Structure 1
Amino acid sequence: MLFASRPTCIKRLLVIEDDPLTAFDNEHTLKHSGYDVVATVDSGEAAVAVIASEQIDALVLDLGLAGHMSGREVARIARDRGIAVLLVTGQCPVDAEEMAVACLGKPHSAAALVSALKAVETMTCKNKTPRKVSGLTTFWRPEAA
């Protein structure tokens, strides 16, 4: 397989993407990279239901969703529960830092998606600065030891 290293503290993911092909590709890539994709949903309402009922370590979240609830609302709910949020969107919003650990621009490769999640793991699990990933903007500040 293309990706040798396995996930560390981020294992259980929720993929939230309203484009069916992108959702399928992301789920396939992440499962084959050792992640447990708990669910893939297309709306904020469905995402909040999964967050309430499952143990989730991180979200892979597009901001444009089906339904009435915005991706921003989902991100803030997840953040308030201590769930890491990786935004995956066409253009990272100016307020992304308020709701996410990092933002990966679309379009992206499968390798970039996995590398972006590894960067999120490095920041949230190891409290270290991650390696640079093409197309990824990080919003990480080290916690005081």
Structure 2
Amino acid sequence: MLFGPRPSCIKRLLVIEDDPLTAFDNEHTLKHAGYDVVATVDSGEAAVRFIAAEQIDALVLDLGLAGDMTGRDVARLARDRGIAVLLVTGRCPEDASDIAMACLDKPHSPSALVAALKALETMICKNRAPRKVAGLTTWWRPAAA
């Protein structure tokens, strides 16, 4: 496998990206890295339908989406349901730590996307701070013992 060991506690992903080429690249990269991409959608409304109907461990979420619902709206809904959120955007917003666990800058390489998800896994599965990843900002809060 190109990207190392298979995912541990984050396996099922929903990719939410309105740019078709970026969406295709992200889905291909994540599947190749061993993740189960439940769906790739371009709007908040479509994302909400999958969040309601599927078991999802994490979102790979762009903030600029098609439709009326914003990426922030989707992130808040996911956070409230206990779904990890990785923002993937051109510029990480100031309030990102309120709605996501991490923010990866665009543009990014395929390996940076996989490393960002592995950082989320470190925070969630191992309850420790992740290693540094270029272009990734994380907000790690240790879980109570």
Q: Does 1:138 align with 2:135?
A: no
Counterpart residue type for residue 14 of structure 1: L
Following the alignment from structure 2 to structure 1, what is the Cα–Cα distance between the partners of residues 144 and 10? Answer: 21
Following the alignment from structure 2 to structure 1, what is the Cα–Cα distance between the partners of residues 128 and 140? Answer: 9
Following the alignment from structure 2 to structure 1, what is the Cα–Cα distance between the partners of residues 143 and 40? Answer: 31
Following the alignment from structure 1 to structure 2, what is the Cα–Cα distance between the partners of residues 3 and 70? Answer: 31
Q: Does 1:23 align with 2:20?
A: no
1:51-62 correspondence runs (5 A): 51-62=51-62
Following the alignment from structure 2 to structure 1, what is the Cα–Cα distance between the partners of residues 136 and 128? Answer: 16
Counterpart residue type for residue 69 of structure 1: M
Q: How many residues align?
A: 145
Match of 2:34 in 1: 34
Counterpart residue type for residue 124 of structure 1: I
Normalising by the residue count of structure 2, what TM-score does the alignment of the two structures yield? 0.99
Q: Given that residues 2 and 32 in structure 2 are in contact (C-alpha distance below 8 angstroms), is that contact kept between their aligned partners in structure 1? A: no
Q: Percent identity?
A: 81
Match of 1:109 in 2: 109
Specify the SS of the correspondent of 2:103: strand
Displacement, 1:141? 1.2
Displacement, 1:110? 0.1
Specify the SS of the correspondent of 1:78: helix
RMSD: 0.6
Give 4+ residue runs of structure 1 displaced > 2 Å after superposition. none
Q: Does 1:83 align with 2:80?
A: no
Match of 1:95 in 2: 95
Query: Which consecutive unaligned segments of at least 5 residues does structure 1 have?
Result: none
Match of 1:127 in 2: 127
